[in-house]
Structure 1
Amino acid sequence: MAQQKNLRLYVEFPSAVPDLTFGDPKPTEWERVVASSDFFAPELEKDRILALHGCWFLPVERAHQQAHLVVARVAGYDKAVYGLPEAASPILLELQPYHVLVATSKLSHFITGRYGPTEAWSAIWNRLIRWLDPDCESESLRWESDVRIRSGQYDKLDSDAEAEAFRRSVQWFRDYTLFTAWGGKKGVIEGYESKIDHNGKQLPLTTARADCISETAMVFAYEWVLCQNPASRRTASDILDFVWSSPDFVQNDSASPAYGLVNWYQRGPIFYGDDNARVVLSSMAAGRLLGNDKWDEKVLRCLLANLRTSSPEGFRPNWLGYPDSFSNGRGWQYYRDTPFVRIAPHYQAYLWACNLWAYALTGFDGFLTPTKKAIRMTMEAYPHGWRWTNGLTQEIARMILPLAFLLRIEDTPEHRSWLDSMCSELLKQMQPCGAIAERIGPLENGSYPPPQSNEAYGTREASLLQANGDPVCDLLYTTNFAFLGLHEAAAATGDARLLEAENRMADFLCRIQVNSSKHPYLNGAWMRSFDYNRWEYWGSSADAGWAAWCAETGWTNTWISSVFAMRQQGDQLFDLSASERWKSLMQRLLKEMEVM
């Protein structure tokens, strides 16, 4: 009948179509939508990747018609770099000889489902409208996304933009991340998962992690200092009590080789050095801001516990687990006495920053000498000897903080040159808008490189980019720590170039803070992967645990928010006001931990 009337039909998620056999509706997991023809060209080239979040589709058992869009597990940032696998399923079919397009999923759900990237879905619907009505002269389809960002790349920011960004961030933490655990303990969720369902919703990640909790305490402590909000002071104290409690997080058996270490997650005896380091850094900052020394002894014991499980060269295994890492007669002495070198700033650098800060507070040389040795070996190995995790840029960003702390302790030409070289390497990746571009190193040095096949996509941790040049910045592993590092480096050196870079990054982060009334649990947050050319959150979502649209409380949001607070207060992380108190604790704890 449509053919007789010379009509064109677009049919979506049909119950039945002649000559097509559908299976039961099926959801995607890691599959993405890919343009499989030139139907949408030149705006959308063949093999272009799209996100159809929460995609449910009708598997087609027999299809001989032309498919213009398919759903498939593919590697790539914008393009399916390894082509389409045989298992690709049609999403948009053209039925010949009829003028009929059949969508096996709900393409029209692009606003509610937050499909991306925006310009690609605009191209799809403009093409579909033109195909349905070749005489249509309508303007390009435009809409306002349900989850957007605060401002455009070139919009002028208000003078109080940073204060507003901090206020929104604290409101996000207060309204959407806090919880009460058994016994009235106050905790913080890990964040919100990257997966977006068909209604555009992201579910909370409810794991109670020590790093996320203590870093959030720091945010509320800064809110107390800046705004004198007594509720924030109470919240910060309550959640620090949770993270320093045993057996929830702290290993409190003095006979255990893990004594003093902090669990990765609640009652989970795995001890990442970099996670312990962020627990320590944020707890030290929060305790000072709250004017409370009740956590000092446990913080210093944790520092010594990490120090005594580090090698003579100043490096620590990426992680240790109890009891497995301490089996077969391996006590903490085994790790203290066994030569071990792993040049990977992602895992090592923030423990070095802790050690240097602890040395400045206590004068104990055991914190300083092996740390300087490790830093020297790391600097001499750059770049070819560096192991990188999700990217090389993040390793550079991590090194800046300990180098800034080292300069505070020993202002020598060599130490200045080390800090200057790392800052210069980072600034090579800084874009005019203030974003830090991701870059990977040699693949053989990467722990979690981009997927090297379609089958590898989504199977492990991975980079946000597929290849150098993809216009993406990482707010989970790089930008957040670069912001902190540049802030401390600018304060330590007085270098106007670093201050200008820090200011530019602050403006960038103000602009890309999430703005959403439809999904208020994201309003005021920052997500992981931002495309600075498209000016929206987008990236290769290959990471199995923390993919492109995740919003982490710790790591991402806490450090960005806290640096905004430091800038308002004229404050730095490095502070020596607790020196006398720490020195009085030190001798007793050195004997207790046998670190003499």
Structure 2
Amino acid sequence: MKVAVFTVEPTEVTVSAECDWFPLDTLAEEKEGVEQSRVELSGYEAVLVIGSSSLDEGTPLPKGAADKLWRYAEAGGRLYAEMIDAYDFPSSRLFGWKQDFPRTRRTLEKLRMEAESEALPRGGLLEWEGAMAYGFPIETESWLTFGPYRETHASPSDTPGSHPGLFVRTLGEGIVAYAAFSLFSCRRKWALRPYGSWSALLDAFAARTGIPFRIWAQPIATSGDESADRAVRDNASWFLRSGMLPEADGSAGVYENIHSVTAAVSADRRPDCHAHAALFFHLYGRYTGSEEWESRSRRLLAYLFDNGFQDTEESSPTRGFFKWYDFPGRKPEQIFTDDNAWVCFVLLYLYRKTGLEQYRERGLMTAEALLETQNAQGLRPNVLFGSRLREAGRGSAFELEASLNPHFESIAHAAFIQAYLVTGRNEYVDAALKGTLHLLRHEDELRFMYSRTSGLTRLLLPLGYLSKRDATGEVARGMERIASYLMTWRDASGAIQEADNPDPERFGKEDAGVYIHNGEGIADQLYTNNFLLMNSWEAYKATGSEELGELYRGLSAYMSRIRIRSAEPRFNGGWMRAYDLRRGEYYGNNGDTGWGPYCMESGWTNAIASAGLLLGLMNESIFE
């Protein structure tokens, strides 16, 4: 079989047949006085006509070209078209749909499977990237619609606001298929997700139309290798090759992430990401005996110090706190508990391992700021505002409601443990114990951001250490309850799947989960399994609990298996946020506009996951 492909720009078409490529304008009939090449379509068993992927200008089809394609299909040809303007009658009746508006870019819309297919049940959802055009069908058989589907895997058919996406019509003896979204014109095939469902769809569509479509080579696969050693080595390479380090030696800091939607490097620099990466690089340097990696760790933290991220002014009410991100103000404004506590935690741990006095000085500055804004229950608001502290003093923090959210509270408690280990001052560990006991005594009142699984994962970190200082046994019992709850959501792969979404209606906003309802089989590597590697290890190391040891070993094997294999260096060797445990590939609900399912966080995901693997490989506790 031979296929003719007409395009206005280079594109990748995957068909299992020999292709002849032509510029789109060669489709038009010859005009008198104009010398123009002419392609005879009757010699091809299928013809593909693919318009521009540009949002700024459409791809109209001259009437002569529409007439030619009409006669080809009517005589028994197989025609596929994509992103061709269909405002006029000849084109709209040829393709079987009438375009209403100029094309626009897909944001949170998804594609829904309409045709019955054994491989892909009706209602199944797919994702893509690029253009789409609103319109209505004319005597067509619908295969895909696009619309504001909020669900993760499948959606009911009565969702309002949907439009034709992929459809088929008969024309005479032939078949015409049309896509009103970027399919083959999608420039980055990794954005068409999930891969397995697209493969099933194209196979079924080829069988229906007779056009020899086939799936493109899988752009993002997983390693399947359970070696934790291999995983951390590959992830170290990811940091060097992905663009996360603007300077390979760490002297220019570390960027935050590879963006979930655009796959661009997000050139934000955040102190918490620096702390996570510095921890990983230090552990990796010790594990491999590489001074080069330990030096990278030191340079990352030096970048924060040298570029004024921390307020060190003696009389400043925000002294010790770090700016959340790099902004022109001299003083911190939004002071998130978890971001500051992570820097404090890592600095004081690294002081204990390296003896670098600057880490002690800077870390204790933050520990003191956290302690002086901790309330009588050992808790704090999840965010303070520097302007309020500068106006009303640090004591004004006590007037704010405590968060009761382990996402924020527990890392502050872990930071206080590090401060105690450095100074021997009991007020630090007492605050950690008091706050932890308050959380455990009010479990029914706890607040969660993405899932109960992710929140209780975070609560676990300080419990092993604190259980040894708690004569009441409440911490130990709380740790057992948390471990038991997490194990109820443990998948056979070793992963903890997301459960108990506190706000399923948060779709389309920042800081949303990558699932909607329980049982979707989605694992989160930004907020749950990544942190749980370290936290379950620390709880196991402190208690020797076989249940916790099993939890850690399963997680270690799972995380090692799902690291990415890709020809694209931005992905290869790293981890994305959402993994579909049923499909065995990266996929999740795309309702988080800031940190979606395909985000690759430098610190929060990749560095923390690798640090958790390394602690097990080195048989060390971060509290020893």
Following superposition of structure 1 onto structure 2, how do residues 522-561 of structure 1 map, counting pairs within 5 Å?
522-561=571-610
C-alpha distance in 2 between matches for 1:214 and 1:243: 9
> Do 2:125 and 2:153's aligned partners in 1 also have CA atoms closer than 8 Å?
yes
Aligned to 2:324: 264
What letter corresponds to residue 237 of structure 2 in structure 1?
A: Q
Q: Residues 463-520 of structure 1: CA distance to partner in whole angstroms, max 9, x if unpaired?
A: 1111111100111011111111110011101122221221111110110001112x11
Q: Secondary structure at the match of 2:165?
A: strand
Q: Residues 556-595 of structure 1: CA distance to partner in whole angstroms, max 9, x if unpaired?
A: 11111112222222211113xxxxxxxxxxxxxxxxxxxx
Are 1:50 and 2:126 matched, yes or no?
yes
Q: Secondary structure at the match of 2:261?
A: coil
Aligned to 2:62: none
C-alpha distance in 1 between matches for 2:612 and 2:507: 34
Counterpart selection for 1:189 from 255, 258, 261 = 255
What letter corresponds to residue 167 of structure 1 in structure 2?
A: R
C-alpha distance in 2 between matches for 1:75 and 1:81: 10
Q: 1:478–1:236: structure 2 CA closer, same or farther, 3 Å change rule?
A: same
> Do 1:360 and 1:409's aligned partners in 2 also have CA atoms closer than 8 Å?
no
Are 1:295 and 2:349 matched, yes or no?
no
Aligned to 2:504: 450
Q: Secondary structure at the match of 2:460?
A: helix
Following superposition of structure 1 onto structure 2, how do residues 280-359 of structure 1 map, counting pairs within 5 Å?
280-323=344-387, 325-326=388-389, 329-336=391-398, 338=399, 340-359=401-420
> Do 1:112 and 1:146's aligned partners in 2 also have CA atoms closer than 8 Å?
no
C-alpha distance in 2 between matches for 1:90 and 1:82: 13
Aligned to 1:92: 166
Q: Residues 271-324 of structure 1: CA distance to partner in whole angstroms, max 9, x if unpaired?
A: 11111111122223334444423211110110110111121111111111221x
Following superposition of structure 1 onto structure 2, how do residues 40-79 of structure 1 map, counting pairs within 5 Å?
40-52=116-128, 54-60=129-135, 65-79=140-154
Task: Compute the TM-score of the two structures, normalised by the length of structure 1.
Answer: 0.84
Q: Residues 238-285 of structure 1: CA distance to partner in whole angstroms, max 9, x if unpaired?
A: 1111223462x1012222211111111124532111111111222233
C-alpha distance in 2 between matches for 1:339 and 1:91: 50
Which of 214-223 and 102-111 deviates more?
A: 102-111
Counterpart selection for 2:342 from 248, 268, 278 = 278
> Do 2:245 and 2:254's aligned partners in 1 also have CA atoms closer than 8 Å?
yes
Following superposition of structure 1 onto structure 2, how do residues 431-580 of structure 1 map, counting pairs within 5 Å?
431-440=491-500, 446=502, 449-451=503-505, 457-517=507-567, 519-575=568-624
Which of 360-369 and 113-122 deviates more?
A: 360-369
What letter corresponds to residue 300 of structure 1 in structure 2?
A: L
Q: Residues 21-80 of structure 1: CA distance to partner in whole angstroms, max 9, x if unpaired?
A: 544332211111122x3x24343333321011x221343377564543122122111123
Shift of 1:3: 5.0
What letter corresponds to residue 314 of structure 2 in structure 1?
A: S
> Do 1:527 and 1:552's aligned partners in 2 also have CA atoms closer than 8 Å?
yes
C-alpha distance in 2 between matches for 1:472 and 1:110: 26
Following superposition of structure 1 onto structure 2, how do residues 127-146 of structure 1 map, counting pairs within 5 Å?
127-133=204-210, 144-146=217-219
> Do 1:75 and 1:82's aligned partners in 2 also have CA atoms closer than 8 Å?
no
Q: 1:32–1:145: structure 2 CA closer, same or farther, 3 Å change rule?
A: same
> Do 2:320 and 2:366's aligned partners in 1 also have CA atoms closer than 8 Å?
yes
Q: Residues 77-109 of structure 1: CA distance to partner in whole angstroms, max 9, x if unpaired?
A: 1123584222x2322133355532211234346
Shift of 1:409: 3.9
C-alpha distance in 1 between matches for 2:219 and 2:112: 23
Counterpart selection for 2:201 from 124, 141, 144 = 124
What letter corresponds to residue 50 of structure 1 in structure 2?
A: L
Which of 355-364 and 565-574 deviates more?
A: 355-364
C-alpha distance in 2 between matches for 1:111 and 1:57: 14
Aligned to 1:405: 465
Q: 1:212–1:401: structure 2 CA closer, same or farther, 3 Å change rule?
A: same
Aligned to 1:219: 280
Shift of 1:548: 0.4
What letter corresponds to residue 418 of structure 1 in structure 2?
A: G
Task: Compare relative contact order (CA 8 Å, sep 6+) and give the higher one, 1 or 2.
Answer: 1
What letter corresponds to residue 567 of structure 1 in structure 2?
A: G
What letter corresponds to residue 94 of structure 1 in structure 2?
A: V
Structure 2: stretches of 5+ with no match in the other structure:
1-70
C-alpha distance in 2 between matches for 1:82 and 1:258: 54
Q: 1:18–1:266: structure 2 CA closer, same or farther, 3 Å change rule?
A: closer
C-alpha distance in 2 between matches for 1:85 and 1:423: 42
Q: 1:520–1:418: structure 2 CA closer, same or farther, 3 Å change rule?
A: same
What letter corresponds to residue 261 of structure 2 in structure 1?
A: K
> Do 1:222 and 1:286's aligned partners in 2 also have CA atoms closer than 8 Å?
no
Aligned to 2:103: 25
> Do 2:137 and 2:164's aligned partners in 1 also have CA atoms closer than 8 Å?
no
Structure 1: stretches of 5+ with no match in the other structure:
197-201, 576-596
> Do 1:215 and 1:283's aligned partners in 2 also have CA atoms closer than 8 Å?
no
C-alpha distance in 1 between matches for 2:401 and 2:117: 54
Aligned to 2:233: 167
Aligned to 2:181: 105
Aligned to 1:205: 266
Q: 1:178–1:111: structure 2 CA closer, same or farther, 3 Å change rule?
A: closer
C-alpha distance in 2 between matches for 1:408 and 1:145: 49
Q: Secondary structure at the match of 2:485?
A: helix
C-alpha distance in 2 between matches for 1:204 and 1:81: 36
Counterpart selection for 1:368 from 420, 429, 435 = 429
What letter corresponds to residue 555 of structure 1 in structure 2?
A: W
* Percentage of pairs with the same residue: 24
C-alpha distance in 1 between matches for 2:605 and 2:526: 5
Shift of 1:228: 2.4
Task: Compute the TM-score of the two structures, normalised by the length of structure 2.
Answer: 0.81
C-alpha distance in 1 between matches for 2:441 and 2:181: 54
Shift of 1:187: 0.5
What letter corresponds to residue 245 of structure 2 in structure 1?
A: L
Shift of 1:130: 0.9
Counterpart selection for 1:12 from 50, 71, 82 = 82
C-alpha distance in 2 between matches for 1:481 and 1:91: 39
Aligned to 1:593: none
What letter corresponds to residue 68 of structure 1 in structure 2?
A: W
> Do 1:313 and 1:339's aligned partners in 2 also have CA atoms closer than 8 Å?
no
C-alpha distance in 2 between matches for 1:468 and 1:274: 26
> Do 2:111 and 2:144's aligned partners in 1 also have CA atoms closer than 8 Å?
yes
Q: Secondary structure at the match of 1:47?
A: coil
Which of 43-52 and 341-350 deviates more?
A: 43-52
Are 1:149 and 2:234 matched, yes or no?
no
| Cα RMSD after superposing both structures | 2.6
Q: 1:297–1:172: structure 2 CA closer, same or farther, 3 Å change rule?
A: same
C-alpha distance in 1 between matches for 2:253 and 2:273: 9
Which structure: larger Rg? 2
Aligned to 1:579: none
